[in-house]
Amino acid sequence: MNFKSISYFLSFFCFPISFLAFINILYASYFDYFLSIEAYFTTLIVSLSIGFGLLYYGKNSQKKINFIEQLFLIIFTYFLTAFLILIPFYLSNYQVTFLNSLFESVSGLTGTGFTIFKNIKYLDPTLILWRSSSQWIGGLYFLNFLIIIFSSKKFNYKMVSLTHSGESSYSSKENIKNNILKIFIYYCVLSFGIFLLFNISGIRLFNSLNLSMSLISGGGFLPTNLLANIISTHFQKIIFIISLFIAMFNFYLLFNIFDRKVLSREHKEDLYLLFLSVILILLVYLNNNSGLDLIISVISSLSNSGLTLIKSDNLSLYFLFITIIGGSLISNTSGIKLTRFYILLKIASSEIIKLISPNSIINKTIFSSDRKITDDNVKISFLIFISFFLSLFILSSFLVLDDIGFEKSFKLSILTLTNTVNSELFNMENLNFSSLLTSSKISLIIFMIIGKIELISIFLIFKKILFKD
């Protein structure tokens, strides 16, 4: 294992945390929140020290790591950055334990939105901003992982090649740097655009900033207890829906819009997601005429955010099922993903047609595009499908030992694996995470990360360790 090279790349994920800590120091200084400023100074010093230490250790390495080492890098990144992000929670005046602090930071990084705080409105504003920042940076990191690391042709289990033609090679330093820079610029522009629209709509500046960071990452943290305390007008709701779509659609859709490229050929997946959204809305709209509130709930479920303006008693299982589908392959959403469902359904129908009419010509294109569904795509889609439900069974088995009941354990497991917040949409808003057993919290932390990177990556790492191939 090339630990020096891993250390070199790992160091670069520490410095953005330092920048966020510096921003919070400025914010705390400007608004006279001096009681909390020491925590951010500590975070700044620790993140810079670890970052430069890792950089120094790996500076003479080969600067090249294989795919399995890249998976190790991703897991190390989640745990290291989670450790750095937990510092302000742990050093705050709210007497948060180390495990609860780690739980909160992992929940933010993965965009899940589970929180150990019972009443958000009583939190220090700097800590609220820190929570939202953890989601924002987690979303940025994951997009980089998707486009730079998970684009590997050898282990293409994310199958990003099916929904993006993109660069022919990511191996050169120039391509990697250009893509990282593009992702960062567009991510920042979109975040600022959402923030500006919310601010124009009448939402106070602080709430607009926190909400924009949550939505662009598909996260579930709010700067207050309920979304209804922030969103009320039709214009605000429309902006909210647009923001959810941005998190759900292929991130390269934005690349191509800015580059003025043809969208119909490259983004059939997004068109199918739009059609699916309309169908899912219509399925419940006729029986539950809640207008924009219902649309927000459907899109929020599909984008794995979970934020809602309604309380759904009868439709909670329906919305829970939608979260399993997820959005685009190249997005901050989790779940099994629409493309994989599409592949499995298309291949299953093709096999049925073969039985009925053996001489039939089978169309194996993905979303009626030029790209073909290969046997590897089918195997990986089926493996992801199985691994999701295997993860669901394992996590539910741990949670059912806690005193929350089988139904809540099952629902919470789905929300964890889809990185979706436990809101009123699923009748899970009253769950107290701080009172869960230590084993339950550790299980949720591990599976929040697995929900983001998927169980198959863990299998690949175990295979590397056990068989030394």
For 335-362, the pLDDT digits (tens) are 999 999 999 998 888 888 878 877 666 6
Report d(CA 413, CA 114) in Å as an integer. 12
Q: Is residue 440 classed as helix, strand or coil in its secondary structure?
A: helix
Nearest-5° Cα angle at 144, 142 to 147 = 110
Say if residue 464's pLDDT is above 80.
Answer: no
The pLDDT confidence band at residue 99, using thresholds 50, 70 and 90, is very high
Per-domain boundaries in the chain: 265-467
**Mean pLDDT, rounded, for 223-252:** 92
CB 431 within 8 A of CB 134: no
Question: How many residues comprise the chain?
Answer: 469
Question: Residue 38: which H helix or E strand, with range?
Answer: helix 37-58
d(CA 120, CA 224): 5
Which pLDDT does position 245 carry in this prediction?
93
Instruction: Please choose, from the candidates 95, 97, 85, the residue with its C-alpha nearest in 3D space to the C-alpha of residue 21.
Output: 85
**Other Cβ atoms closer than 10 A to 168:** 7
Question: What pLDDT, in 10s, does the model give residues 118-130?
Answer: 889 889 999 999 9
The alpha helices in 91-124, defined as continuous H runs, are 98-109
Cα–Cα distance for residue pair 454/444, rounded to 1 Å: 14
Q: How many CA atoms, within 13 angstroms, populate the side-chain half-sphere of residue 40?
A: 23
Q: How confident is the model at residue 468 (pLDDT cuts 50, 70, 90)?
A: low
Per DSSP, helices labelled H in 146-172 are: none
CA atoms within 13 A on the CB side of 85: 31
Q: What confidence tens digit (pLDDT) does each residue in 272-305 have?
A: 999 999 999 988 876 665 688 889 999 999 999 9
Q: Which two tokens stand for residue 249?
A: 């659609």
Q: What is the pLDDT of residue 170?
A: 45
How far is residue 127's CA from residue 134's CA, in Å, rounded to a whole number?
11
Instruction: Tell me: pLDDT of 4 over 60.
Output: yes
Which residues are 372's β-sheet partners? 365
Confidence of residue 263 (pLDDT cuts 50, 70, 90): low
Judged against a pLDDT cut of 90, whether residue 466 lies above it is answered with: no
Q: In this predicted structure, which of 60-64, 278-282, 431-435 has the lowest mean pLDDT?
A: 60-64
Per-residue pLDDT tens digits for 365-403:
888 777 788 888 888 899 999 999 999 999 999 999 888
pLDDT, average across residues 42-47: 96
pLDDT in tens, 165-194: 554 444 445 567 777 888 899 899 999 999
pLDDT of residue 13 exceeding 70, the answer is yes
**Mean pLDDT rounded to a whole number for the chain:** 87
Residue 312 has pLDDT above 80, yes or no: no
- Whether 252 and 330 have beta carbons less than 8 Å apart is answered as yes
Query: Which residue, among 255, 133, 245, 253, has the nearest Cα to 182 in the 3D structure?
Result: 255
Q: What is the per-residue pLDDT for 323? A: 95
Share of the chain above pLDDT 90, in %: 55
CA-nearest of 63, 281, 88 to 176 is 63
